[in-house]
Amino acid sequence: MYIDFYKNRQMKRFTTALLLNLGIITGWANLSRAESVATAPEELTEIVESIEQAANDKNIEEVLEYYSQDFTHTDGLNVDTLAKALTQMWKTYPRLKYNTEIESWSEQGGQLVAETKTTVRGVQNNNGRIVRLNSTIRSRQYFEQQKLVRQEILSEQSRLTSGENPPQVQISAPTTVTTGQRYNFDLIVNQPLGDRVLLGGVQENKTASNLYLNPPALELEPLPAGGIYKTAIAPLLPDSNWLSAILVRGDGITMIAHRVNVEEKPAPAKK
């Protein structure tokens, strides 16, 4: 029963897209002269609050009013793909709720730049089975003439759970690595398995706009070690990857999506 549920409702990458669409996301360049949220211009706080309210109202037209037609995103998303992802996400989670906090801000070349933390919570009833979504994203967003013109993601992690007792998972994974670096992605189930069977799967994918609406499937296999332990090697060029995993037990399912940003490895210091 749970495996059938997984095949029909695996953790979709557009759990991220819904966050991206809110104007709450952007990349890994360093802010110059970052300021405290207490000094944020009223113009900036009003835009962020208005986008959040429009999203909570599920008003796609109002959300898109705050996006530039030339909007760009590091994953290749644009206004059209964002709108499709949001609409689909709201259909799946009709009571989805967003909360965004500005953590710092700056002004760069006539643009207002905000670093934000966004949490998203949602519940859906899938033929009597309750599915809970929890996502957290830290991002940087660039505004010009009261329009969002660019977004980059700093960190991202989403979790879906279902069942009476979904596996309680401890996650160990970096949010940023350097090119060519070896790193670990570990999901450790905290509860003892006893005589229960634990199944799981993990996959690594380069971030891309097509995966928001068409995520690949994960293959399940027995996990005798009580979790998932994966070693990965970062690509040789700066990039951004999704690590997706699922843990299936007879009494519940937990699914995780975790983003790893890949930065250029610093050149060795000259002697």
* pLDDT given at position 44: 92
Strand partners, 131: 124, 162
Question: How high is the mean pLDDT in each 10-residue block of the chain (271 residues)?
Answer: 41 37 33 63 92 94 94 86 88 91 92 94 87 92 94 91 92 94 92 79 74 63 88 90 90 92 83 65
Q: How far apart are CA 56 and CA 45, in angstroms?
A: 17
What single letter denotes the amino acid at residue 193?
A: L
* pLDDT given at position 35: 64
**Cβ atoms of residues 134 and 120 within 8 Å:** yes
Q: CB count, 10 Å around CB of 38?
A: 6
* pLDDT given at position 123: 92
Which DSSP symbol is given to 139?
Answer: E
Q: Which of 154, 153, 145 is nearest to 66 (CA)?
A: 145
Show the domains of the chain with their CATH numbers. Answer: 2-263 (3.10.450.50)
* pLDDT given at position 268: 77
Q: Could you give the dihedral angle defined by the CA atoms of residues 246, 250, 251 and 255, in that order, rounded to the nearest 10 degrees?
A: 0
* pLDDT given at position 215: 56
**Cβ atoms of residues 151 and 138 within 8 Å:** no
The model scores a pTM over 0.75: yes
204-226 in b/e form (b: 16+ CB < 10 A) is eeebebebbeebeebeeeebeeb
> Six-digit token pair at 62?
């109002």
**Cβ atoms of residues 264 and 216 within 8 Å:** no
Q: How far apart are CA 153 and CA 164, in angstroms?
A: 33
